[in-house]
Structure 1
Amino acid sequence: TDHSLEEAKRCYLCYLKYEIDVDNCIYCRACIEVAPRDCIKLVEGVEINDDGTYGELQETNVWRDTAAIWIDNDECIRCGACYKVCPTRCISISKNEIITQSV
């Protein structure tokens, strides 16, 4: 059915990761304004775990305290609107693959 096909496409898109290159971001907020969900956050810091992965975000609503604009990939629906509207093309999309191994 059409619904099954749409769900399959959505699951395929779940393997896409959106990231903002903060060095090239001009903080114009275009991505925030166009995002259909509240998935692009203003953050003043990001906790880095011992294994090098990202931990908890320290979000802010105060523009002068903003250290970065962050895409929350758990909330992102991967519509591509932020990518299309970015004037500096600082948003990248990468495909993550799950590899299983038997031990």
Structure 2
Amino acid sequence: MNEYVEGGLASEPSPKPAVRKTSRARTLTEIRSLARSHTRTALRVLVGIMRSDEATPAVRLSAANAILDRGWGKAAQPIESGEDGATELVHRVERVIVRPDDAVEGDAGPKA
């Protein structure tokens, strides 16, 4: 029987992998950045699937929905209240901060 396992004796404990000391937020930021670097390729794949005659209609629809969601955002979803079954829409509120130095005179938008 072979006593060696991956360059060491089978009876020796394997070395523990080095622990990288980074914050969770930094790791998530790195993952997001890496994922975003593949955006063009992923979009091309989705468009290819959507246009493919060989793909099933369900797969083509899923790809089309993914493209629309990324380009235009997901549609507002109605929420039922517990009382009479009435629905209400949830709206996204976004605050945009404009620095006065970036504003053109008489315009709240950034300089061109």
State the TM-score, normalized to the length of structure 1: 0.28
Larger helix share, 1 or 2: 2
Structure having the higher strand fraction is 1
Larger radius of gyration: 2
Q: Normalized against structure 2, the TM-score is what?
A: 0.26
